Amino acid sequence: MTHLAPLDAQLQTILEGLARRNALRLFANPIAELRQAPPPGLSPVAVGAVRDAIATAQGLTVPVRIYWPDSEGPHVTVVFFHGGGFVLGSIERYDDAARRLCRALDGVVVSVGYRLAPEHPFPAAYEDGLAATLWALENSANLGVGAVTVAGESAGGNIAACVAIMARDLGLQLAGQLLIVPGTDMTRELSDTHDNPILTAADLVDSKRYFMGERMAEVSSFPPSPLLAPDHRSVAPAVIAVAGHDPLREEGVAYARKLQAAGVEVVLLQFDTMFHPFLGFASVATGPERAVQEICAAFKATIPI
């Protein structure tokens, strides 16, 4: 086993608290119960303005929440897909993350409320993700005026990566893709170890089962596996962030290499002391907050406004 850097001390404390509450094995609890848990009571990170809207494209209506920075534009527009294993998460639960991205990127963030499994299995999340992105492209003059990009964490990173390829296939060129601890290979077979404290192999199996439903045989196709797409040429430039304590780390690195081999500009950032996922912990731990700032600085440097 590859030697791991020690987990960030503050995250280790959080991890120990979760263990005391028997809260580490995520999908051991009923989905309805997990969804009913209230979002963390955090003081909102200040942004310029926030508005809920409906994105409409390709016959779909997708709820979004738009965050504007308080600076003068033009601004990049970031279509953001939350994490949650395609089963959990929401615009509301990722409000803090979206606000932090809005401030750190000095950009307009469009947080997407895509449909969740198992009620809406594969490929609903990709249909909604593409529709929201097409809507953002069509309405960029009312959003940030500048370039349009996609971003996501974990399952949301998977959606962002897939949407970037789908947009390329439609002849559309996004300005960038920000993939934070993304899942890129749904064919993965992992053994559970103590080195993956938040996202276990069993959780990944459950998430895939809920998401793919009766179409499990398609996990080796694109989508849902952007790593296995037949062609990665000319997709949007990427910033990919991976965590040391994450069972998805190697497929994130593999995706960076696959894009680079196809001639795509890629910045790969490795945060050895972080676990999966860490974006949502930036409000309570300094390590994740520093990581978010570094990720956003790298992404801003790749995007022409």
Average pLDDT of the chain? Answer: 92
Element (H, E) at 238: strand 238-245
DSSP letter at 99 equals: H
pLDDT digits over 113-123, tens only?
999 999 999 99
pLDDT digits over 219-250, tens only?
999 999 999 999 999 999 999 999 999 999 99
- What mean pLDDT comes out for the span 189-197? 65
Residues 96 and 112: their CA atoms lie apart, in Å, by: 14
Predicted confidence (pLDDT) at residue 153 exceeds the cutoff of 70? yes
Predicted confidence (pLDDT) at residue 23 exceeds the cutoff of 80? no
- pLDDT in the model for residue 183: 96
> In this structure, how many other beta carbons lie within 10 angstroms of the beta carbon of residue 91?
17
Predicted confidence (pLDDT) at residue 2 exceeds the cutoff of 60? no
For 117-141, letters b (16+ CB in 10 Å) and e give beebbbbbbbbbbbbbbbbbbebbe
pLDDT digits over 253-304, tens only?
999 999 999 999 999 999 999 999 899 889 889 999 999 999 999 999 998 7
Structure tokens at 54: 């409906």
- pLDDT confidence of 186, banded at 50, 70, 90? very high
Residues 94 and 274: their CA atoms lie apart, in Å, by: 19
End-to-end CA distance of the chain: 43
- pLDDT in the model for residue 150: 98
Predicted confidence (pLDDT) at residue 194 exceeds the cutoff of 60? no
Angle at 50 between CA 58 and CA 298, to 5 degrees: 80
- pLDDT in the model for residue 15: 83
Whether 154 sits among the annotated catalytic residues: the reply is yes
Strand partners, 49: 68
Contact status, residue 128 vs residue 91, Cβ threshold 8 Å: no
- pLDDT confidence of 197, banded at 50, 70, 90? low
- What mean pLDDT comes out for the span 99-122? 97
Predicted confidence (pLDDT) at residue 83 exceeds the cutoff of 50? yes
Residues 150 and 174: their CA atoms lie apart, in Å, by: 8
Burial of 59 (0-12, 13-18, 19+ CB in 10 A): exposed
- pLDDT in the model for residue 27: 75
Residues 110 and 182: their CA atoms lie apart, in Å, by: 19
- What is the SS3 assignment for 243? strand
Contact status, residue 203 vs residue 26, Cβ threshold 8 Å: yes
Share of the chain above pLDDT 70, in %: 94
DSSP E strands in the chain: the ranges are: 49-57, 60-68, 75-81, 108-112, 145-153, 177-180, 238-245, 266-275
Contact status, residue 228 vs residue 221, Cβ threshold 8 Å: yes
Residues 220 and 222: their CA atoms lie apart, in Å, by: 7
Domains, in order of start, for the chain = 9-302 (3.40.50.1820)
Single-letter code of the amino acid located at 41: G
- pLDDT in the model for residue 227: 98
Residues 74 and 143: their CA atoms lie apart, in Å, by: 9
- pLDDT in the model for residue 3: 67
C-alpha radius of gyration, the chain, whole number = 18
Residues 168 and 274: their CA atoms lie apart, in Å, by: 32
Q: Which residues contact 173 (CB under 8 A, 6 or more apart)?
A: 167, 234, 236
Contact status, residue 76 vs residue 149, Cβ threshold 8 Å: yes
Catalytic residue among 154, 203, 225, 245: 154
Could you tell me which residue, 7 or 109, shows the higher pLDDT? 109
Whether 272 sits among the annotated catalytic residues: the reply is no
- What mean pLDDT comes out for the span 22-36? 76
Whether 276 sits among the annotated catalytic residues: the reply is yes
- pLDDT in the model for residue 1: 43
DSSP letter at 270 equals: E
